[in-house]
Structure 1
Amino acid sequence: MGLSLQQFAMVAGAHLLALLSPGPDFFLIARSALLRGWRKTGAVCFGIACANGVFIALALGGVAALHRHGTAFALVQAAGCVYLFYLGGLMLRHARAASIGTHGQDRTSAPTASAWLARFATGFASAILNPKNALFYASLFALLAARDAPFGAQIVYGAWMFVAVFGWDLLVAMSIGHPAVVARFTRHSASIERVTGAVLLAIAASVLAMLARQWL
């Protein structure tokens, strides 16, 4: 397969630096972990990882849809914007303070399939909407191809990055969702909801403005 440890260290290091840079995904994970605990936030983390997996698969295949000015990429971003507008509006409209009892019940109650899917969709939409994700993977795998990295080795790198995204996001959720941290922020749950909603609306608006400048 021609897997080079030096090359793997380069790829893993670049990917780690990208993970350490906070973005909308981090904000969503923090909000979910504070309000619902890290276990339920796992669905958000998995959605983010799957969106990264889509970009990794496209980069491995050398698909032109990853191009920033490509029609397919623009359509995916537009769809993500619509979803984030809907989600952000929902949070702003229904933000409310949670009592300790209500908060604890939300954290320990059995998850339903619809709730899991909703959290998964939130994470997936956030990550698939971020053009930095697409451009990072496209650039990284283009560099690997230029260095004649075997396709089998690139698959290993891609699998590693998927696992690393999911593992890192879960670690963040576990740190923020610690009971001591959650207890401190419970009384501010309504503010957390409002701020998150406003951030999602701002992200969606900025991406739509970028798309408008590109296509109009």
Structure 2
Amino acid sequence: MLQQFLLVAGAHFLALLSPGPDFFLILRYAIAQGRARAALVCAGVTLANALFIGLAWFGLMALDGLTGLFAVLQWAGCGFLLYMGWLFIRHAGNRQLVTGGDTGPAPGQPLGAFGAGLASGLLNPKNGLFYASLFAVLNSQGTPESVQGLYALWMVGVVLGWDLLVVWLASQQALMRRFGNKLAHIERLAGVLLVLLAFGVIASQLPH
């Protein structure tokens, strides 16, 4: 179980490290509006992720009795993880981090910052597909529901913690440069872990 946790937690965290729309939105607010507003964006992004995680967990629990549909979802999730892993490996290092310069106007109301984070998280289809795939993997390996619940809580906490760390990193130019220099390696490692998760599903479904 510890080995599974390390693989799932590692893949999830490394996927977070790869900059996406949420990352750049938080970075933009931190630079243009300050830490307080950026923290509200983090809260919105975290809530969006929590909703996707909850839907993935409870949705797959509800589908568990529908054997055929559940198996299709598991294989679809496996395919998506393979696809995501391939994208991470193929495009590693293609995106550049920008920590200064013109960030453009940002909403001035606190509710606007929270709403922007929530919308960014909810409108990114990769978030929902990623969590659905991840929990499909866990279900295929017979992971107890209580353990999956702990994984869900862990992932919500990690999303919030990482996003708040991004807010702090935005004010640390030297650290942001170092992070950007290591980004290609981080994305390749994330891709490898996602592929390993997918192959774990394939191995568990093969006749013994």
Contact 1:44–1:122 under 8 Å retained in 2: yes
* 1:35 alignment counterpart: 32
Please identify runs of 4+ aligned residues in structure 1 that moved more than 4 A.
Answer: none
SS at match of 1:62: helix
CA distance in 2, matches of 1:6, 1:24: 30
Matched, 1:61 2:58: yes
* 1:11 alignment counterpart: 8
Identity, % of aligned positions: 50
SS at match of 2:143: coil
| Matched positions, count | 132
- Tell me how far 1:116 sits from its aligned partner: 2.5
SS at match of 1:13: helix
Matched, 1:125 2:106: no
CA distance in 2, matches of 1:34, 1:132: 26
* 1:159 alignment counterpart: 153
Q: Which structure has more helix as a fraction of its residues? A: 1
Matched, 1:116 2:110: yes
Which residues in structure 2 correspond to 1:66-105 (within 5 Å)?
Answer: 95=105
* Distance 1:38-1:139 versus aligned 2 partners, 3 A rule: same
* Distance 1:36-1:11 versus aligned 2 partners, 3 A rule: same
CA distance in 1, matches of 2:4, 2:123: 29
CA distance in 1, matches of 2:115, 2:22: 12
What do you get for the CA RMSD once the two structures are aligned? 2.3
TM-score by length of 1: 0.57
CA distance in 1, matches of 2:31, 2:51: 28
Unaligned runs of 5+ residues in structure 1 are 68-93, 97-105, 107-114, 182-216
SS at match of 2:26: helix
SS at match of 1:177: coil
* 2:184 alignment counterpart: none
Matched, 1:48 2:42: no
- Tell me how far 1:118 sits from its aligned partner: 1.5
- Tell me how far 1:95 sits from its aligned partner: 4.1
Matched, 1:24 2:50: no
Out of 123-132 and 35-44, give the one that drifted further: 35-44
TM-score by length of 2: 0.59
Cα deviations by residue, 1:128-170 (Å, 9 ceiling, x for unpaired)? 1111111110000000001010101001001110010111011
- Tell me how far 1:12 sits from its aligned partner: 0.4
SS at match of 1:173: helix
* 1:136 alignment counterpart: 130
* Distance 1:28-1:158 versus aligned 2 partners, 3 A rule: same
- Tell me how far 1:17 sits from its aligned partner: 1.7
Letter matched to residue 159 of structure 2: V
- Tell me how far 1:177 sits from its aligned partner: 3.3
Contact 1:38–1:177 under 8 Å retained in 2: no
Letter matched to residue 126 of structure 2: K
CA distance in 2, matches of 1:174, 1:95: 20
* 2:194 alignment counterpart: none
